[in-house]
Amino acid sequence: MGLFIAVEVLKDKCVGIDECGKCIEVCPVQIFAGEHGIPSIISKNEDECILCDQCIQGCKPNAISIGKKY
Ligand code: SF4
Ligand code: SF4
């Protein structure tokens, strides 16, 4: 979890990287990672989130939540 931003992938909604992987593809600051299964969050990059909304828009099952902690 970042100091200012908390990005979360809801495991029960995400369809997985093999089937989708959109978040990994679109995030300009590499917050999502992984090759199979559910994407993992790279905590050290979380505060780099520019709130561009691309992951949210690209995630069809609405599995991503971005919380502002400030
Ligand atoms: S809002 Fe933009 S910068 Fe933030 S996690 Fe999503 S794609 Fe990455
Ligand atoms: S975009 Fe959404 S459904 Fe697709 S891999 Fe990322 S979190 Fe999962």
Domain limits of the chain? Answer: 5-68
Please say if the pLDDT value at position 22 is more than 90.
yes
User: Quick one: average pLDDT of 51-57?
Assistant: 98
- 50 Cβ contact list (under 8 Å, min separation 6): 28, 29
User: What is the reported pLDDT for 70?
Assistant: 86
Q: What is the residue with the minimal CA distance to atom 3 of ligand 1?
A: 49
Task: Give the pLDDT mean for 17-42.
Answer: 98
pTM of the entire predicted model: 0.95
Taking CA atoms, 29 is separated from 6, 12, 13, 64, in Å, by 14, 24, 23, 16
Provide the token pair at 29.
Answer: 């600051």
Mean pLDDT of 43-58: 98
Residue nearest to atom 5 of ligand 1 (CA): 49
- Mean of the pLDDT values across residues 34-47? 98
Pocket of ligand 2 (CB under 6 A): 9, 14-15, 17, 20-23, 39, 58-59, 61, 63-64
Position 40 scores a pLDDT of 98
Fold of 5-68: Alpha-Beta Plaits (3.30.70)
